[in-house]
Structure 1
Amino acid sequence: MLKVDVEKSLKAFHLNTRFECESSGVIALFGRSGSGKTSIVNMLAGLLTPERGEVVVKDRVLFDSSKGINVPPQERRLGYVFQEDRLFPHLTVRRNLLYGWKRAPKTERRIQLEQVVEMLGIEALLERHPGKLSGGEKQRVALGRALLANPSLLLMDEPLAALDQARKEDVLPFIERLRDEFDVPIIYVSHSMEEIVRLADTMVLISDGRVEAVGAVDDVMGRLDLRPLTGRYEAGAVLSARVSSHDNEFALTELEFGGGTLRIPLLDVPTGTLLRLRIRARDVSLALTPPADISIQNVFKATIVAIGSETGPQIDLRLEAGGAAVWARITKRALMSLKLEPGREIYAMVKAIAVDRHSLGRVTGPDRFLSGE
């Protein structure tokens, strides 16, 4: 288990955070800038000392104010990937990679240089210096250096924030492989919902130094009461679906989920692949009767199970489609004119091109997934 129960005053900001979860897979710390995410990670790493509390990683106590325990950072056996690469500029890529590996106890060097070089595709970079690398290449090397320290837990603090979208798409598959192939639990800090949905198993939602919710990503994203914190613009449903067929003529892939069939732009993945995907509430329209003669490719029957209480002109509705939760955002005028209420059966409509491809992932286990693109 991972247990964090810490308190710290930082100038005018007071952090009082407590959560427990399984120390496996990817645990995402999500919240707005200034919510305390980086401070929590720094306390895990030992770079910031809590005034009170306890930090336990896999039954190993790293900090306990009541017992006077405060393990030094270099003895915590945690890897850290920062927002900026922080590579040693005077060392080659090879020597940067081996820096942490040489400091790991010989008996615990289960991850080797050759494995990491192959996974990250950086063999051609080994004799270069960091100044000769692109931003994406630097982050791949930083990932490798942290992994070669053979840590019991890997900390990633906004590792993609300094990269543009194209470079992010280059690095994300390597983070997915790291997650799936090395069995090292990861604390992943981000304010990008796309990254969280694509990578994480568990979400810890943080606001003003406090934990507001802990749970599976789809559960936390599905809670109406957390919409002010998870973000109304990005709000939506996280669904599991299986690739059933490909339509090469029209460049579409068909997915089967609890509520029926979804068609999305063509994916290069085998049939039978289990995917996790996000459909934003703003991309779902509703009809009382089966729509006909429309361009929208995805229409499925659903039941309204909850209606939000937003004060503005729009409102969110939670739908259930064959056991799958789906969200729709409509105007209050539409809500009134259609006389929508909980228990009402309706038809949900989603454009094929509306499915969020940046957060699309493939399930590799009960709760894990990697890119399907």
Structure 2
Amino acid sequence: MSRREAPPGAEAPGLDVRLAGRRGGFALDAAFTAPARGVTALFGPSGSGKTSLLRSIAGLVRLAGRVVAGGEVWQEGERFVPPHRRAVGYVFQEASLFAHLTVEANLVYGARRTEGGVDAGLRREVVALLSLAPLLSRSTADLSGGERQRVAIGRAILSRPRLMLMDEPLSGLDHLAKNEILPFLERLGSSLDLPILYVSHDLAEIERLADRIVVVEDGRIRAAGGLNAALTDVGLGFVRDPRAAAVLPARVTAYAAEDGLSELDLCGQSLFVEGIGAAEIGIERRVRIAASDVSLARAPLGPSTILNALRVEIVAIEPGTGAADLAILLALEGAADFTFVAKVTRRSAGRLELAVGDRLFAQIKSVSLATSPMPRSR
């Protein structure tokens, strides 16, 4: 495959997109970058242009602009690399496997048609990553929805793409199938050395899987950047949602086998969570803090069943979704970028006389793991 490299200078992002044009009566105008590895979510309501944007990046729809993946220019000016020459691994809502072929044959189908054929070492890694070994000799007709998607993802990876595009891969699955495949999707961001664009309108999926987010609205990019920065950006409105949450990185520092809890360091403050063993001491994990699980106090936490209390400062006070509640945006003491939200009633806020700039204690009823280990830096 002929290549045209990006200009020399600072290291290029994994993906650089600048696209604009019309599809029928729908106008798309999108510009964003994504890092060289990890999951970047395209989030927005149905009809906002997420899938059209994905198809344009793949070259299936031609819009004016620029697309650069892994330093290779796929589109700029008059240059337009056709879809079949773009090293894209595309996973659709429906797995679309070949019914007459076994899982093994489906898995390597695309790779056999690439330069160099099937990479045996990569095949072993993919089979292990997606736990496909027990399925290889089976007919695709005998697979569950989650199993079919795992095969489709494996097939896309084995084509050795520069970019993975995943268009709502869980939308056609029931709750049990989603829970079956989510752990495998979690592993991809930390295991694959390439950018992944993941389309969804389900914020819970994105909180669990994504490192960054691109918010799409009416064909335009409303925001693009780190996941938690968007989740706690008062201008985007996520903080006012009843299901508002924050996703923050924390490092595992200790494990107490007697009570099954691990201690995590969150910018010098301690969090206690379950579900992590001693083997992960020293590893960075992401934790999810739901706004509904946070209460505020002016005095340090006394004897209580609540284990987690963080020193915080009020950054903003926003109306909630109801007449009685408020969304309080908090930053960790000494760490302005580490923000999360507390949902409190107006009456409680009035009793405590809460104001921007106040230093408080945030008592957290429950802290859950948001995902598998954080992606390794390149």
Q: TM-score range by the shorter chain?
A: 0.7 to 0.9
Distance 1:16 1:144, change over 3 A: same
Q: Distance in 2 between matches of 1:108 and 1:234?
A: 44
Distance 1:218 1:176, change over 3 A: same
Compute the displacement of 1:72 (Å). Answer: 1.9
- Note if 1:6 corresponds to 2:16: no
Give deviations 1:110-149, integer Å, cap 9, x for gaps.
Answer: 8633332232221222222211111111111101110111
Q: Structure 2 stretches of 5 or more lacking a match?
A: 1-12
Q: Secondary structure at the match of 2:47?
A: coil
1:361 is matched with which residue? Answer: 372
TM-score by length of 2: 0.86
Q: Secondary structure at the match of 1:175?
A: helix
Residue type of the alignment partner of 2:244: A
- Note if 1:184 corresponds to 2:194: yes
Q: Distance in 1 between matches of 2:371 and 2:307?
A: 19
2:113 is matched with which residue? Answer: 103
Q: Secondary structure at the match of 2:235?
A: helix
Q: Distance in 2 between matches of 1:96 and 1:256?
A: 44
Map residues 206-355 of structure 1 onto 2, 5 A cutoff: 206-228=216-238, 232-258=241-267, 260-268=269-277, 270=279, 271-309=281-319, 312-322=323-333, 323=335, 324-351=338-365, 354-355=366-367
TM-score by length of 1: 0.87
Q: Distance in 1 between matches of 2:125 and 2:255?
A: 34
Give deviations 1:244-284, integer Å, cap 9, x for gaps.
Answer: 33344433332222262222234335333321111022211
Q: Distance in 2 between matches of 1:45 and 1:88?
A: 22
Q: Structure 1 stretches of 5 or more lacking a match?
A: 368-373
Residue type of the alignment partner of 1:273: I
- Kept after mapping to 1: 8 A contact 2:49/2:217: yes
Q: Distance in 1 between matches of 2:122 and 2:158?
A: 7
Q: Secondary structure at the match of 1:295?
A: coil
- Kept after mapping to 1: 8 A contact 2:43/2:215: yes
Distance 1:179 1:108, change over 3 A: farther
Residue type of the alignment partner of 1:140: R
2:61 is matched with which residue? Answer: 48
Q: 1:200 aligns with which of 201, 210, 226?
A: 210
Identity across matched positions, percent: 40
Give deviations 1:25-55, integer Å, cap 9, x for gaps.
Answer: 22211112221111111111122222x3222
Residue type of the alignment partner of 1:143: I
Q: 1:25 aligns with which of 22, 38, 43?
A: 38
1:60 is matched with which residue? Answer: 72
Q: Distance in 2 between matches of 1:289 and 1:200?
A: 35
Q: Distance in 2 between matches of 1:366 and 1:349?
A: 32
- Kept after mapping to 1: 8 A contact 2:288/2:368: yes
Q: Distance in 2 between matches of 1:231 and 1:310?
A: 5
Q: Secondary structure at the match of 1:179?
A: helix
Q: Distance in 2 between matches of 1:179 and 1:257?
A: 22
- Kept after mapping to 2: 8 A contact 1:108/1:150: no
Compute the displacement of 1:225 (Å). Answer: 0.8
Q: Secondary structure at the match of 2:54?
A: helix
- Kept after mapping to 2: 8 A contact 1:248/1:266: no
- Note if 1:114 corresponds to 2:127: no
Q: Secondary structure at the match of 1:318?
A: strand
Distance 1:71 1:231, change over 3 A: farther
Residue type of the alignment partner of 1:314: D
Residue type of the alignment partner of 2:213: M
Q: Distance in 2 between matches of 1:168 and 1:208?
A: 28
Map residues 23-172 of structure 1 onto 2, 5 A cutoff: 23-50=36-63, 52-64=64-76, 66-67=77-78, 69-106=79-116, 109=119, 112-172=122-182
Q: Distance in 2 between matches of 1:43 and 1:63?
A: 10
Q: Distance in 2 between matches of 1:54 and 1:291?
A: 54
